[in-house]
């Protein structure tokens, strides 16, 4: 070996075993950090792209359903829609003048990945009973990201084939990030008469919105609820 090569080797400081371990841990943490960042990017943007595409398809499906009215054919009965079918259009002015989502029938993960979902076996807009709507706060375009900002008196609009139904909230988080927080098992909020036995006969036309708590988690739920104030028939 040439002398200058021997000199370079002999002058190079040796890394201790501890330095090797620390370096390895650092590389693992760096890799883990990159993976977490990529996961967050996917949750926020990747799932949003998928949901945006699904929303386009749901809009087209709804146009076909409601377009049947022009030909004198009645659109599908909401009670006969299958999970995953386009249901209606949801607007919440508190979230912005241009905030609008097509609602899908069903609240299973695959359904909510497409947009806000209507709880099966809950009332349809305008009916006596309780209309249940759920949506994500993070990922999938985050429809209910601003859920804690909902306040008593805010209006919730649902457009169906026969017109638009408007509800006014009488119970909401009112700006409290922990407001109206409930356990996942508290499904009573979407019962026909919330807080009463499920077989209680409803007399009001209500709506209940639910979402996850905290925003980037799902250990609990949040809800807001209100009553019908106007509809197609007056």
- The answer to whether residue 97 is domain-embedded is yes
- The answer to whether residue 179 is domain-embedded is yes
- The answer to whether residue 108 is domain-embedded is yes
**79 token code pair:** 């009670």
Which string of DSSP letters, residue by residue, matches the chain? --HHHHHHHHHSPPPPHHHHHHHHHHHHHHHHHHHHHHHHHIIIIIHHHHHHHHHHHHHHHHHHHHHGGGGTPPPPPGGGPPTTSEEEEEE-GGG-TT-EEEEEE--SHHHHTTS-EEPTTSPPTTSSEEEEEE--SSSTT-TTTTGGG--TT-EEEEEETTEEEEEEEEE--TT-TTTTEEETT-GGGGSSSTTS-TTSPP-SEEEEEEEEESTT--SEEEEEEEEEEE-TT-
pTM for this model (two decimals):
0.80
> CATH code at 84?
2.40.260.10
Q: What is the pLDDT of residue 143?
A: 97
From the candidates 4, 118, 136, 220, which is the catalytic residue?
A: 136
Q: What is the pLDDT of residue 76?
A: 84
- The answer to whether residue 53 is domain-embedded is yes
From the candidates 4, 118, 140, 212, which is the catalytic residue?
A: 212
- The answer to whether residue 127 is domain-embedded is yes
What is the phi/psi pair of residue 61, to 5°? -65, -40
Q: Give me the tens of pLDDT residue by residue for the chain, a chain 234 residues long.
A: 444 444 444 455 565 665 555 555 666 555 555 444 445 555 555 678 999 999 999 999 999 888 876 667 777 899 999 999 999 999 999 999 999 999 999 999 999 999 999 999 999 999 999 999 999 999 999 999 999 999 999 999 999 999 999 999 999 999 999 999 999 999 999 999 998 998 999 999 999 999 999 998 889 999 999 999 999 975
Is 220 annotated as catalytic? no
Q: What is the pLDDT of residue 25?
A: 62
Number of domains observed in the structure of the chain: 1
Provide the domain limits for residue 203.
47-230
- The answer to whether residue 19 is domain-embedded is no
Is 136 annotated as catalytic? yes
- The answer to whether residue 16 is domain-embedded is no
Strand partners, 223: 210
- The answer to whether residue 123 is domain-embedded is yes
């Amino acid at each position: 070996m040439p002398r200058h090569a021997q000199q370079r080797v002999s002058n190079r400081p040796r890394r201790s075993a501890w330095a090797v371990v620390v370096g390895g841990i650092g590389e693992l943490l760096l890799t883990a950090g990159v993976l977490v960042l990529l996961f967050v990017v996917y949750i926020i943007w990747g799932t949003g792209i998928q949901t945006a595409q699904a929303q386009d398809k749901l809009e087209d499906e709804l146009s076909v359903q409601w377009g049947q009215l022009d030909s004198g054919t009645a659109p599908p009965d909401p009670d006969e829609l299958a999970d995953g079918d386009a249901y209606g259009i949801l607007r919440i002015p508190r979230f912005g003048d241009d905030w609008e989502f097509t609602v899908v029938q069903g609240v299973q993960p695959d359904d909510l990945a497409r947009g806000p979902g209507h709880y099966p076996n809950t009332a349809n807009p305008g009916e006596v009973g309780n209309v249940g709507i759920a949506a994500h706060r993070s990922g999938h375009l985050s429809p209910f990201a601003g859920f804690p900002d909902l306040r008593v008196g805010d209006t919730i609009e649902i457009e169906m084939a026969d017109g638009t139904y408007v509800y006014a909230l009488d119970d909401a988080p009112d700006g409290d990030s922990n407001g109206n927080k409930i356990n996942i098992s508290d499904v009573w909020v979407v019962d026909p008469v919330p807080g009463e036995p499920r077989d209680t006969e409803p007399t009001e036309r209500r709506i209940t919105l639910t979402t996850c708590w905290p925003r980037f988690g799902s250990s609990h739920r949040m809800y807001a609820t209100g009553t019908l104030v106007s509809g197609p028939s007056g």
